[in-house]
Every structure is written in structure tokens, then in C-alpha cells.
Structure 1
Amino acid sequence: MNDVTRPIVSIVVPAHNEEAVLAGNLDRLLAGTEPGEFDVIVVANACSDRTAEVAVRPGVRVVETPVPGKANALRLGDELCATFPRIYLDADVELDSGSVRALVAALDRPGVLACAPVPVWDMTGVSWVARRMHKVHNELVAPFRALAGVGVYVLTEEGHAKVFPIPDVLSDDGWAHGSFAVHERVVVPQARSLVRPARTVSAHLKRRVRVRLGNRQLAALGRSAPEGRLRLGSLGALLTGGKVSPLDAGCYLAVLVMDRAMTRARTSRGGQVQWGTDTGSRSEAG
């Protein structure tokens, strides 16, 4: 293979204690690429494991910082990027080189400033109730997801100016999503990201408290996406259309009640949720 004189894309991977999955995900990302084709920066932030060590390989630059927080890691990595467009990739999400190229190509369309892949959910080890709950949730949010919730988003240089510098928000992908009009962001059907949802209801609820507080934070900053607000009528439509079963819907509603109760309790106590690694999607203890 011949060296590529200039990378076609820069890829920032913020990573906090991702030793268990990072090496394999980087190998999959770089498999089949020309040397220098992708400019990859891993930002190991406040890690207490071997994240930085396992990330080292040809084609990857590794930066370490003692400062915790995904937004800070994204800003650090972004400052080191060599080119546009730029991909912001969660360390625990799988993305292959073919999907990267499809995402880059999609940004050649006039007026498109940002894009994301279609998520594929890995349900390995997911509990019976959690599996049904995830099924309903995915059906509800699929029409509105775009840049949020798939572990990957991509920005052109013009799109980058709308998003960066990212403030210290809990939901960086929500911030990016809310930075664009509907016609400026697209989902690329030729690209796929492999996402591992929470395996248990308990792990999901811990994650959802952070998500809900993050959404409230975005709304206060004027970056919420009102077209993504879910209604119970949408659940009724899924039932009527046969896309989910009454049992699926029952599991979803039961978890939703617990979710909202936990969020109200946390908010009333004035609790703050900090960004970190949610290991519930990839550990037996989750």
C-alpha cells in the first residue's frame, strides 16, 4: 500500500477507562486503510487503567490528561486534528473504515454540514426486560435520532464552527445535534456504528438519569431538539402498527416510570451528574 499524503478525515476518540474495548475498536477502525488515510487522536482522560497504553499503534496519536470529562477530552483532541471533516467517536462504539469513507462522502452533498451512521444494537447479554425496553425506545427515537445516541457524529469545517468549542455539557452529541437545522444534518444509510446498550434495567436507569439531566442542560442553553420530544401517542401508534407488542410497551412504560422518579429525586436533591464511563453495556456487573 502507498502512503496517503494527506488524511481524508480526522477522528477524535475520547476515552475514560476503556482498556477493555479500545484496542479492538481501533483495530476495526483502521483495518483496510492506507497508511495515513485516517488521522486518529485518542484522548485518554483521567484514566486509572491501561487505556493510553492499549491505544498505541501506527496511525494513532495518544494524548493523556488528568482532567476528567468528555467535553474537555473532545476539545483537546480537536485542537490536534490535521484536517476536515472530523469524526467524534465514542471509544466503546465500533466503526469500520468503510463506514468512515461513506460518512466523509456524504458531506460532499450541498448544504450538509453534519452526519452520522445508522446504529446497530448489539443485544448480546441484554436481559429480557431490558431487551424489550430497548426495542420500544429505539422505535420511538429512530425518526429523530440523527446525530444523537449513535456514538458517532461527523462535522464539516463549516459545521465545526457551529459546534466548537463544546462547552462542559453532559451530552456532547445532543449539543451537536441541536446546533443544526434538520436539513443540515443527515443519517448515512451506508454507514453503521455498533452500539452496546445497557444490559440491565439498573444500568439503563443510571444512564438515563444522566441523559435526562443532560437534556435539561441543553434546553437551558437553547440547544434542545423539540422535534425529538416523545409522546405517549407515538407509543400507541407503534402498538397499532404492530411494531411493538403490548408486553414490549408494558416493559417500556414500567422502566419509564422508574426513570422519571429517579430523575425527580436526583433533581430535588440538587445532585450533579458527571460524565464518565458507563460500564453497564460491557461488563457482567453492569
Structure 2
Amino acid sequence: MSTGDTASIGKGEGRAQSKRPPFSVIIPAHNEELVIARCLNAIVDGVAPEDLPEIIVAANGCSDRTVKTARETAPSAMVLDLPAGSKVIAMNTANTHATVTPRFFLDADVQCDYRSLLATAKVLKEPGVMAASPRLEMDLRGFDRWVRAYYRVWLTQPYVRDRLVGSGVFGLSAEGLETIGTIPPTFADDSWVRTRFSYEERRNVAQDECGGEVSFTVTPPRTVSDLVRIEARRRIGSEQVRVLYPSPHNGRINRPGDLRTALSDGASIADVVIYLSLKAVALLRYRWDKLRGKSPRWVRDEKARQAA
């Protein structure tokens, strides 16, 4: 891969390590000073130096203390200071520096510990497995009750439960990396990656070899308005992937009948109504912006970062 961007590289590039790292972790980070330490600490805390993974923080277009905080939190990590504020450029650039597979791409606002990544890395070494993620968990403490209702339903849907790859973390085997090549410019990098692989080539990992639970934790939008904005952005990304990057694996994921699963798993009828209503509002916002010719732009939840 070649992006043409230059980067300042942190001291971690030259770390001495006699033992080959068990996997790589690439963390794209744009102005993530509020969460980057939490993300890195989840990976490195309690891990012996010789067992540490190869970590590359791809700071991009940062005007805050992301680079400084990352270098202080994880001195063994390579920290790239890229001038362009682009997640995809950051991921592709970091990928040219990485030397180890399996390789994970991890959003800076996500928490995923070493044990969960290691368990998933072992699965990625199995024959035929191209892409994998740990099991997804949502941190909904202190959230708007409408948001909690929405996610009580969302977490039961096939997108989440049926070999999810994405929503903050995805790992690729050596063959998987070769298959995808360079990630194209898209608002939905995780959806693009997921749709490059068949169902049989993807895995979700819920337990390690000893039966211990493994997962990663996402903090979703905290309010209804933020949730609608983020959901509308997801629709932009989904359309980009469907139209610009077609794939035989890019089929419909969730169907109306899947809502029965939510009801059988503890969600109420009111939860389902709220879920469908917020989906509809997000769809209307997406279509209205498209009708007005409003240029798509990256949207993220700043309130969740401030709360962190």
C-alpha cells in the first residue's frame, strides 16, 4: 500500500523484542486524547513485555494531545503522526508499517483487552478463517432510556449475533489481509471488510481456549439525537459499500421477522416500537440530506468521549 502521506514516527518503532509478537493492533485515532489511553491500557495492562503485541497508533490530523498521550501510555507502541485527517489513510498507512499477523484494526474509543484479542488471533490462525471479531458488548450505563430500548433490540439482531465483523474491531488473517488489499475511501470500513468475506470465512469469538469469556466494549451514542445522526451516517456508509464496492456477500442482514428474536430475548413491544421509530427517523434524515445534495461527512459521538 502507498498513500503518499508522510508521518512522524514515535520511539516505539525501534523497540527490541526477542520474541515475535503474537499479533498486530492498528488503532486509527483522530483527536482521541480523551480515550486513547483507555484503549491502549486495555491492551497492555498486565501483559509481560515479551508477550506484548505489535501496536501501531495511526494518529491522523490531530490538533490535540493524542500523539503525546499515546506515546506516554504505551512506550513500546509505534505512534504515527499523520498530517491528513482520514481514518482510511491512517489504516492503510499503518498497515504498511505492520509486520505481524493476525492483524487487528481497533477504533480508539473501543475497549478490548489483550486476552480477547489473543483468543481471536488464535481463531484467525485456523484454516479457512479470514476475518474475526470478539463478541460485542455495549456499555449503556447512564444512558437515555430511549437509547437503551433501541439497543436492547439491536443487540439481538443477526448483524450482531451472526458472525459480526466490525462495529469497532475486526481482525484479519494473513490470507484475509492479502484478500482485501488496500481499504478504499468509505464511511463504512468495517462493513466493507465484512462484505469481502463469506459467512464461512468469518468468525465471532465468545470464549478463549479455557472457556473464559472474551469480548470488546463499545460506548454507543448517549442521546436520541446523537443516535439518529450516527445511524444516518451508517446508512451513507452502507450505500457506499453496496453501490461502489459490490460483493456477492453484501446481502441483506436483518429482516422484519428477526424482531421476534428480540421479543423472545427480553425486549418488550415498546422497545421494538422505539427501535423501529428511531430507524425510520434516521432513514428520513439520510434521505433528506441526500435530496438536498448535502455532502456526506464523518460524524462521531463526542459526548461519549467526554463522558469517558
Instruction: State the TM-score, normalizing by the size of structure 2.
Output: 0.86
State whether residues 139 and 219 of structure 2, in contact with CA within 8 Å, keep that contact through their aligned partners in structure 1: yes
Matched, 1:54 2:97: no
Amino acid at match of 2:270: L
> Distance in 1 between the 2:261 and 2:177 partners?
37
Report the alpha carbon displacement of residue 236 of structure 1 after superposing the two structures with TM: 4.0
Matched, 1:71 2:94: no
Task: Report what 1:43 is aligned to.
Answer: 58
State whether residues 14 and 90 of structure 1, in contact with CA within 8 Å, keep that contact through their aligned partners in structure 2: yes
Within the candidate set 160, 185, 188, 1:142 is matched to 160
State whether residues 175 and 224 of structure 1, in contact with CA within 8 Å, keep that contact through their aligned partners in structure 2: no
Runs of 4+ in 1 over 6 A off after TM superposition: none
Q: Deviations over 1:239-286 (max 9, x none)?
A: 3x35320111121122122111101101112223233543243336xx
Note closer, same or farther for the CA distance 1:258–1:157 as it changes in structure 2 (3 Å cut). Answer: same
State whether residues 12 and 41 of structure 1, in contact with CA within 8 Å, keep that contact through their aligned partners in structure 2: yes
Within the candidate set 225, 230, 235, 2:254 is matched to 230
Report the alpha carbon displacement of residue 7 of structure 1 after superposing the two structures with TM: 1.2
Amino acid at match of 2:259: L
Q: Deviations over 1:6-25 (max 9, x none)?
A: 11111100001110111122
State whether residues 34 and 306 of structure 2, in contact with CA within 8 Å, keep that contact through their aligned partners in structure 1: no
Report the alpha carbon displacement of residue 218 of structure 1 after superposing the two structures with TM: 0.3
Report the alpha carbon displacement of residue 118 of structure 1 after superposing the two structures with TM: 0.3
State whether residues 155 and 161 of structure 2, in contact with CA within 8 Å, keep that contact through their aligned partners in structure 1: no
Amino acid at match of 2:115: G
- Mind listing any 5+ residue stretches in structure 1 that lack a counterpart? none
Task: Report what 2:287 is aligned to.
Answer: 264
SS at match of 1:139: coil
Q: State the identity as a percent.
A: 32
Note closer, same or farther for the CA distance 1:226–1:163 as it changes in structure 2 (3 Å cut). Answer: closer
Q: Deviations over 1:198-222 (max 9, x none)?
A: 1111111111111001000000110
Amino acid at match of 1:200: T
Within the candidate set 17, 34, 45, 1:31 is matched to 45
> Distance in 1 between the 2:282 and 2:249 partners?
20
Note closer, same or farther for the CA distance 1:100–1:146 as it changes in structure 2 (3 Å cut). Answer: same
State whether residues 116 and 154 of structure 1, in contact with CA within 8 Å, keep that contact through their aligned partners in structure 2: yes
State whether residues 136 and 160 of structure 2, in contact with CA within 8 Å, keep that contact through their aligned partners in structure 1: no
Matched, 1:85 2:109: no
CA RMSD of aligned residues (A): 2.0
Task: Report what 1:281 is aligned to.
Answer: 304
SS at match of 1:154: strand
> Distance in 2 between the 1:162 and 1:99 partners?
24
Report the alpha carbon displacement of residue 137 of structure 1 after superposing the two structures with TM: 1.3
Matched, 1:116 2:133: yes
Within the candidate set 118, 129, 140, 1:101 is matched to 118
> Distance in 2 between the 1:167 and 1:222 partners?
12
Task: Report what 1:185 is aligned to.
Answer: 202
> Distance in 2 between the 1:88 and 1:245 partners?
35
> Distance in 1 between the 2:41 and 2:147 partners?
30
Amino acid at match of 1:210: R
- Mind listing any 5+ residue stretches in structure 2 that lack a counterpart? 1-15, 208-213
Within the candidate set 269, 274, 277, 1:246 is matched to 269
Within the candidate set 22, 38, 58, 1:8 is matched to 22
> Distance in 1 between the 2:18 and 2:46 partners?
13
Matches within 5 A, 1:161-200: 161-190=178-207, 191-200=214-223
State whether residues 197 and 249 of structure 2, in contact with CA within 8 Å, keep that contact through their aligned partners in structure 1: no
